[in-house]
Every structure is written in structure tokens, then in C-alpha cells.
Amino acid sequence: MSGKTIFITGASAGFGAACARMFASEDNKLILTARRIDPLLKLQEELSGRCEVQMIPLDVRDREAVQGAIEGLPERFRSIDILVNNAGLALGLEPAHRVDLDDWDTMVDTNIKGLMYCTRFVLPGMVARNSGHIINISSTAGAWPYPGGNVYGGTKAFVTQFSQNLRCDLLGTRVRVSCIQPGMAETEFSKVRFKGNEEAAAGVYQGTEPLTAEDIAETVRWIVSQPPHVNVNTLELMSIDQAWGPFAIHREQK
């Protein structure tokens, strides 16, 4: 896998940064995007000896900014081969009747609408070139319910279903679409979910060996390395320390 142009959303941390490091090799060109500029600049500096890097500060919720970023790419970065739709977040674990509605809006705007915008503006070029690969980062939360998962899980279910529907639209082209559903992975994810509460974030992973960002990057590497006629549709992975619980049953106290 070399000589590719790769566009990564949410490259300032976690899975996105690990994917950038994984893809960084002489012949690849990386377009790294996120809202925070400092970590992007650091990553660009780290990778600059290994490949060409274009860094773009971008909030995926801003439709016009996404369009401008993709359509305004310098000519040599314009033919995107791989789009990693990774930017996303969970906010809070409150039950639906107590949740902050702004948090729901933010998750929908980022995880659903941001991913839609990036896909819509990158796809025409891929279809015209009759090649390309979109990797969408969903979650086990989109397949399996849990208390407080309400809208976060809903956004990730969208990502999974959208990925499969894209395959239907793209049938007859050589454009591939893959969806990854990771379980618990230690990144900045929980710090963001618990709004900076480091203790609560650490508690999520305490006493476990969670997935790492590098595990997800290696999964991406495997998916994009399959022969061009092979489309990995959906891939779910979890830490060995995570599994499903039994159904929850409410019992009245007598």
C-alpha cells in the first residue's frame, strides 16, 4: 500500500493520529484534519521526514468548511484514494430524560452530519476515477445498546447502516466502503465523554487491557491491503476484557 493520498478526519488524537502514523511512508500523501491545530502541527512535524503531509484545521460540522477543504486541496493532494471518516465523540452517559440536549446536537452534528459531508464531497472524485476506499469508524455502541448510550449509539448505528447503503449506491464501481466497529479503546475518548474528568475517564479502563489506537490503525491497514476485488463490509473488534452482559431485568422490591 504505497503511492496513496489519504484524507483522515480527527487526526489530532487517538485512532486518527495512529492511522496517520501507520500510513506515513515515503510514497503516501497525508491530509490530516481536526479542530485543534497544535497536535496536528506536532504530528505533521513528526511525520514530515516520512511522507508529504498537508494539515488542514477543520471542524467537520461546518459543511461549507468541509467543502472548501476538499475542493480547495492543492492539485497534488486532490485525488483522494482513502478517506478515513474517524472524527467523532461521545458526550455524557446520562439517561435520555436528563441529558443535555446540546450534547445530543453535538454528537449528531459531528458523528452523523460531519461524516456525511466528508463522504459527499470526496465521493465524486472517487467515482470519476473508479477507485477509492472509504473507511468509516462506527462502534460496538452502534450494534449493542447500553445505558446512557442513547444518541451516541444511535449516531454509530447510522454510520454502520450508511456504510452498507453506500455499498449499494456504489455497486458497479471499484470504490470500496468499510465500516469498523471497535469496542472500548483507550484514547482521549473518555476524557471527552466525561468533559475533562480524568478520574472518571481512567475508571473506564481500570484493571483492563483495552484496545489501543494502534490496534485500530492495524485493522485499517489490513482492510485497505485486501486485493481490490475484496470489500470488507463491517468489522467488529473488542478487547479480550470486554463482552456482553445478560438482559437487564427490573424487579419491584416487595
Which one of residues 110, 140, 160, 178 is an interface residue with ligand 8X3 (CB under 6 A)?
140
Q: Are 210 and 241 in contact (CB under 8 A)?
A: yes
Helices 14-23 and 37-47 sit at what angle, rounded to 10 degrees?
A: 20
How far apart CA 210 and CA 165 sit, in angstroms, is 31
CB of 71 to ligand NDP, least distance (A): 18
Choose among ligand 8X3, ligand NDP, none what residue 160 binds, the Cβ cut-off being 5 to 8 Å by kind: none
Q: Does residue 184 interact with ligand 8X3 by CB under 6 A?
A: yes
How far apart CA 210 and CA 147 sit, in angstroms, is 20
What are 235's three cell numbers? 468489522
Q: Does residue 163 interact with ligand NDP by CB under 6 A?
A: no
Nearest to 192 by CA among 35, 24, 28: 35
Choose among ligand 8X3, ligand NDP, none what residue 188 binds, the Cβ cut-off being 5 to 8 Å by kind: ligand NDP
* Choice between 83 and 184, CB closer to ligand 8X3: 184
Q: Does residue 239 interact with ligand 8X3 by CB under 6 A?
A: no
Which one of residues 163, 187, 219, 239 is an interface residue with ligand NDP (CB under 6 A)?
187
Which one of residues 1, 89, 116, 127 is an interface residue with ligand NDP (CB under 6 A)?
89
Choose among ligand 8X3, ligand NDP, none what residue 120 binds, the Cβ cut-off being 5 to 8 Å by kind: none
For residue 133, what are the β-bridge partners? 82, 176
DSSP 1-58: --S-EEEEESTTSHHHHHHHHHH-STT-EEEEEES-HHHHHHHHHHHTTTSEEEEEE-
Which one of residues 22, 55, 166, 184 is an interface residue with ligand NDP (CB under 6 A)?
184
How far apart CA 222 and CA 199 sit, in angstroms, is 34
Q: What angle do CA 193, 47, 77 make, to 5 degrees?
A: 90
Choose among ligand 8X3, ligand NDP, none what residue 88 binds, the Cβ cut-off being 5 to 8 Å by kind: ligand NDP
H/E element, 84: strand 82-85
The secondary structure of the chain in percent helix, strand, coil, rounded to multiples of 5, reads 45, 20, 40
Q: Does residue 213 interact with ligand 8X3 by CB under 6 A?
A: no
Q: Looking only at residues 32 through 51 of this chain, which bind ligand NDP when binding is defined by CB under 6 A? A: 34-36
User: For this structure, is 117 an active site residue?
Assistant: no
Q: Does residue 192 interact with ligand NDP by CB under 6 A?
A: yes
In the complex, which residues of this chain contact ligand 8X3 (CB under 6 A)?
A: 139-141, 183-184
Which positions are annotated as active-site residues? 152
In the complex, which residues of this chain contact ligand NDP (CB under 6 A)?
A: 9-16, 34-36, 58-61, 86-89, 110, 114, 137, 139, 182, 184-185, 187-189, 192, 213
